[in-house]
Every structure is written in structure tokens, then in C-alpha cells.
Amino acid sequence: MERHSLNMNSITRLAPAKVNLSLKILGLRPDGFHDLSSLMLPVSVFDELEFERKQDGDLEFTCSAPDIPVDEGNLVVRAARLFCNTFKVPSQLRISLKKGIPHGAGLGGGSSDAASTLLALDALFETRLARQKLAELAAILGSDVPFFVYESAAWIAGRGERVSPVDSIKSVPLLLVKPPFGVPTPWAYTHWRDSEEIPGVSYGEQSSAAGLLYNDLERPVFQKYFLLAELKRWLLEQPEVEAALMSGSGSTVFAVLRVKEAGLALSERLENEFGPHLWVHLCETMP
């Protein structure tokens, strides 16, 4: 999101995570995707990408996380190839990714990295493309990628390719909590229709300072990954927490805090209750 450039030969960008403040599934599309209505907000957790033009050779990509692929299957590589091939610019690039967003968390890290790649290359090669054009490219790469191109809170529709930025949402403090496992997004959507609610677990709309919270994917995901239901239940019982929800298809559950200063004490109680293996991060939304 932030950008630093030096003689237009190198750029460093921060790629923010996101949370889904709301996620409604409207039905299955003929192309196999689902029609969605979702309010998505960038949050202050970041991956960092460095882009540098070089004199010869082909695209080089490295990543700080050993479990992230660095070949053509990576969204950063795919985004760079797509941009260079579409606009006939040389792929003589060196790209490095420093991960700060956990993988498989429902926080959109890979999609944000891909969008940041398109935005960085647009600046690096001075193509000066409209956001809509970049969003059209982004939609080729994945459903969440167009959202990150607009660098704003936004309602998304369709399978994610229709993005309507909004500017009326205030910043709120969040505590993000991710257990040491991920949830496969295709699995969550596939099991949405035939899933059932767990008795005693709250699935209804919640009011918060940021707006109404709800997520249709909690039903299938909680059924298989009961720890996430327990995390949400426990968070909702804490006096510092205004609302709690799973983000996207999980596995991150986030709490909307009444005040940010309460996050540290809540984090300590969370570790005492669930153990030290959770990834816990205090942040805020960036509308």
C-alpha cells in the first residue's frame, strides 16, 4: 500500500491483509463459482514486496517463507507474467517477498501480493493504467485480487470481480487469531449448501462500530474445524470484545475491540486459554 521508488528502477510496496466484515453467498454460478455479496476492509498487517528492474535474464522471485512456492504457481509470478505479456514490457525483474500475513488464513495474503505486483509494475513501467483496467487483469488471477487493486474498503459482488469502494467506514481495532492450520477455500464453498449449524454457536448478525458482521462460511467451516467455533464463542464472552467473526473461509477469527489498548491483556488470556501455538496480531482496519 505504501510505495517507495528510486529512479523508477526499484519499488517497495506493502501489501495489506483483509477481513470480510460480511460475507453472504447468493448462490452457485454456471461457471462453478459462487455469487457473493461481501464488505471487505484492508487491515494493518502486511507482506512486503520489493521490485527491481535488471539488465538481462528473466524474472527472478524469492520469498522469505520456505513453504511458499516460488515457481509459476505463485500469484506474484503469475501477476508479473500477465502484466509483462499484456503490455509487452520486459520481464527482466527481480522480485522478493517478505511474508507478514500468514498463509491459508482467510486474510487474502496471496491475492494482495498479486494486486501489489500489478500496481508496482504499472508504476515501474509508467503505463499509468486506470484502476478498472488493472482490476480486469486482477480478475484473471483470482476472485479476491480486484479488491486489493482499489486500496480501499469495498463491497464486492459477482465472484469478487465487481468492486464498489466505500469511504464511510471508520477505522476500528481488531485482534486477529489464527490456529496452526489453514482452511482450503474451495472446500469451504463446496460444503456451504449441505452444512448445518452447531447448537449453542452464534451465527447471526452482530452489530459493531464498523457495521454488521456475518459470514455464511462459518457454518461449513465450524462443522469441520470446531476449534474455530470455540475461539469465536470465547472471544464473544470477553468484556473487551464488541463482536467476533471468522474472516473469509478461515482459519482466522477476528475480534472487534472496544478499545485498542485492551488487546494486549486479551492476547495474554487467549494464550492461557488455548495455548501458545496461535498466531495473534493486534491491528486496525484501514478504510
Per-residue b or e along 226-239, where b marks 16 or more CB atoms closer than 10 Å to that residue's CB: eebbbbbbbbbebe
SS (H, E, C) the chain: CCEEEECCCEEEEEEEEEEEEEEEEEEECCCCCEEEEEEEEEEEEEEEEEEEECCCCCCEEEECCCCCCCCCCCHHHHHHHHHHHHHCCCCCEEEEEECCCCCCCCCCHHHHHHHHHHHHHHHHCCCCCCHHHHHHHHHHHCCCHHHHHCCCCEEEEECCCEEEECCCCCCCEEEEEECCCCCCHHHHHHCCCCCCCCCCCCCCCEEECCEEEEECCHHHHHHHCHHHHHHHHHHHCCCCEEEEEECCCCCCEEEEECCHHHHHHHHHHHHHHHCCCCEEEEEEECC
CA distance 171 to 174: 10
- The answer to whether residue 122 is catalytic is no
Among 144, 178, 216, 232, which one carries the catalytic annotation?
144
Provide the residue type at 36 as one letter: L
Active site residue 18: yes
**Active-site entry in 18, 122, 216, 232:** 18
Q: Which residues are catalytic?
A: 18, 144
